[in-house]
């Protein structure tokens, strides 16, 4: 991370964002010892609210880079320029939300971050859960972990959706950091191992959050649900 980006991280953590997160969510961090203070690591968490990425970075105690929607970097005018500067300053990577080959440049950038010894954070669901359930994970986290050999740490976050929407902040945010996954058995499976490892990752997270699991992508589920409502 560049000096400018490190400064932006420090400013956000200790001045602009961190204090507000502690006040609103009273976060409880469990298993912080599973995140190395230095060196490459991949942090994969469920996604219930916008604040998830911020709480995960707060728990990690180190700069953590996430993939950000490409739309955040494409706005026009003063607001668009401000968004681009904000996300770029924090080291965020624009990602094409269509997935498949369109997301390859983003994953290549993620590989670069990990190989430089950085922390890469990702929500494998690809978007916030539209219904509170845990949705099918995309395979990017596993692919990068297998390519780089970086430890892949599952993270289970609870309390963000309700705490952010409730004016009384009644529910405490809990960030549970789990031991790194052992990907050795999945490597031996060849290409099918990527999907199998991704499914295992999601079930590991869901076991801790208590979320019901649905074997469909969140984005696809939203589209199907919208069509049903329109029918």
Q: What pLDDT does residue 229 have?
A: 35
- pLDDT under 50: residue ranges of the chain: 163-165, 168-169, 223-231
Tokens of 92: 């965020």
C-alpha closest to that of 179 among 34, 46, 56, 39: 34
Helix (H) or strand (E) holding 28: strand 28-30
Q: What distance in Å separates the CA atoms of residue 189 and residue 182, rounded to the nearest whole number? A: 13
Summarised one tens digit per residue, pLDDT across range 122-136 is 999 988 999 999 999
| Helix axis angle, 52-60 to 18-25, nearest 10° | 110
3-230 is a CATH 3.40.1130.10 domain: yes
* Strands 152-158, 174-177: pairing kind: antiparallel
- Within 65-103, residue ranges assigned H as helices are 77-89
Predicted local distance difference test score (pLDDT) of residue 67: 77
Residue 226 confidence (pLDDT): 39
Q: Where are the domains of the chain?
A: 3-230
22 contacts 134 by C-beta, under 8 angstroms: no
CB 56 within 8 A of CB 121: yes
Token pair belonging to 124: 């494998």
């Amino acid at each position: 991370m560049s000096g400018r980006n490190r400064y932006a991280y420090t400013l956000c953590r200790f001045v602009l964002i961190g204090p507000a997160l502690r006040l609103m969510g009273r976060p409880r961090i469990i298993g912080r010892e599973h995140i190395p203070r230095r060196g490459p690591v991949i942090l994969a968490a469920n996604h219930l609210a916008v604040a998830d990425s911020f709480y995960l970075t707060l728990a990690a105690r180190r700069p953590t880079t996430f993939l950000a929607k490409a739309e955040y970097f494409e706005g026009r005018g003063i607001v668009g320029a401000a968004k681009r500067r904000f996300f770029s300053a924090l080291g965020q990577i624009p990602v094409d939300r269509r997935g498949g080959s369109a997301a390859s440049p983003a994953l290549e950038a993620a590989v670069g971050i990990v190989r430089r010894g950085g922390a890469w954070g990702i929500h494998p669901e690809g978007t916030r859960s539209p219904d509170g359930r845990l949705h099918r994970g995309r395979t990017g986290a596993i692919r990068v972990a297998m390519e780089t050999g970086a430890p892949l740490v599952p993270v289970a976050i609870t309390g963000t959706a309700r705490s952010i929407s409730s004016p009384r902040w009644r529910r405490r945010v809990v960030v549970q950091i789990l031991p790194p996954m052992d990907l050795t058995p999945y490597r031996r499976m060849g290409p099918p191992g990527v999907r199998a490892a991704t499914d295992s990752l999601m079930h590991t997270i869901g076991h801790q959050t208590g979320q019901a699991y649905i074997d469909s992508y969140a984005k696809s589920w939203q589209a199907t649900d919208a069509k049903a409502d329109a029918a």
